[in-house]
Amino acid sequence: MAVGRRRWVIEALIDIVLLTLLATVGIGIVVIRNLLAVTMLSGIYSLIVAVLFVLMDAVDVALTEAAVGAGIMVILMLGTIALTTREERVHGTGHNLLAFVVVLITGAALIYATLDMPGFGDPEAPAHTHLSPRFTQDSPEEIGIPNMVTSVLASYRGIDTLGEVIVIFAAAVGVLLVLGGGAVRRRRPPTDADDPAGEGRR
Amino acid sequence: MNQYIVLRVVSRLLIPVILIFALYVQFHGEYSPGGGFQAGIMFTAAFVVYSLLFGLEEVQRAFPPVAAHVLSAGGALLYIAVGYATMLLGGNFLEYKVLLPNDQAGETFGIIVIELGVGITVAAVALSLYYSFAGRFVDREAGD
């Protein structure tokens, strides 16, 4: 019992530290106007979230968050900044009272809604009483692979995942239509006259 | 970036490791965390690192944008093809167990193939997106 409690205390402490960091980084993202710094902070934000997912034993999600949020997203955001501007433009300094009230009410409603949520890890929570037992108990027998996340994602929710793949594909089509394919044009071989230092090629 | 010799050497060592790890995440997803989504992104990450150090043109010679565009659709089509294959074999759409005589083997086989489809699409899409952004940057830098 004592060991269990000590473990609980340690996990709670780690959670508190990480959530504090997360909140700090979040505030930093809102306050800082330098978009380069904001991009880096959003990568750090994703890494912290990934660690929190690991603590909740959601390793698959953590892997995705780390790879997408801290990896490719940061690269794409950096690309956007390189193409546009590095400083966020400030539109006026007047504070919008109406927006503040709307944000306050929405936030209060969301916090009020969390009071109805079941406690973390509560075995009686609806999420753990409906389909989860079926998946955890029968999937090794039915699908024959140990990683239940993969079983659910690829087999039980196969059509769902197909939808996700199509969404990703559609997103790529959208970006390609707006930005173009990005093929580096085969330029005529650079002569010494127009590109002496060879700076056209990075 | 020709002057950063440390970066160039280290990345040359790291890129094969990243690629192998991506393949591991892809094909070991039934036993350990991971799967097509994560593996696809990691696979692309290796190409992005290479392009940051050696230039977009070099990467596009190894993996042309057209190939990335075709593979984005190809992965999704592979996924859908599995669905139709199960229908032709008398099951429902994406009911993998009809693929092989043994139910479990069929499910596992189906999952491996569709995860491969997911991985191909995600890797190709991420690379296409990167090409789209980086390609414009190179165009602008060339400046004419």
Residue A191 resides in a domain: no
The range of the structural domain enclosing residue A166 comes to: 144-184
- Of A57 and B144, the one with more pLDDT: A57
pLDDT tens digits for A88-109? 887 776 778 899 999 999 999 9
pLDDT tens digits for B35-65? 889 999 999 999 999 998 888 888 999 999 9
Tokens describing residue A51? 């660690």
Taking CA–CA distances from A187, the nearest residue in chain B reads B142
pLDDT tens digits for A107-119? 999 999 999 888 8
Residue A149 resides in a domain: yes
The answer to whether residues A1 and A82 belong to one domain is: yes
**How would residue B86 be classed by pLDDT, with cut points 50, 70 and 90?**
very high
Residue A150 resides in a domain: yes
Q: Which of B42, B56, B125, B139 to mutate to test the interface with A (most CBs of A within 10 A)?
A: B125
3-state helix, strand, coil in chain B (%, to 5): 80, 0, 20
Interface of B with A in 85-144 (CB under 8 A): 93-94, 96, 103-105, 107-108, 110-111, 114-115, 117-118, 121-122, 124-126, 128-142
Instruction: Note whether A168 contacts B121, CB cutoff 8 Å.
Output: yes
Instruction: With a threshold of 0.90, tell me whether the complex ipTM lies above it.
Output: no
Residue A48 resides in a domain: yes
Instruction: Note whether B131 contacts A169, CB cutoff 8 Å.
Output: no
* pLDDT confidence of residue A6: 83
| Spatial CA neighbour of B120 closest among B28, B27, B5, B33 | B27
Residue A117 resides in a domain: no
Say how many domains are in chain A: 2
Residue A190 resides in a domain: no
Residue A98 resides in a domain: no
Residue A102 resides in a domain: no
* pLDDT confidence of residue A200: 47
Q: What angle do CA A75, A77, A79 make, to 5 degrees?
A: 70
Bridge partners of residue A87, in order along the sequence: A34
Question: How much is the pTM?
Answer: 0.84
The range of the structural domain enclosing residue B76 comes to: 5-142
Say how many domains are in chain B: 1
**Distance between alpha carbon A85 and the CA centroid of its chain, in Å?**
23
Range A144-162 average pLDDT:
88
CATH number assigned to the domain comprising residue A61: 1.20.120.1200
| Spatial CA neighbour of B125 closest among A46, A174, A186 | A174
The answer to whether residues A81 and A155 belong to one domain is: no
Q: Which residues on B lie below 8 Å from A63 (Cβ)?
A: 25, 33-34, 38
Q: What angle do CA B50, B51, B53 make, to 5 degrees?
A: 70
Low-confidence winner among A71-75, A92-96, A130-134, B25-29 (lowest mean pLDDT): A92-96
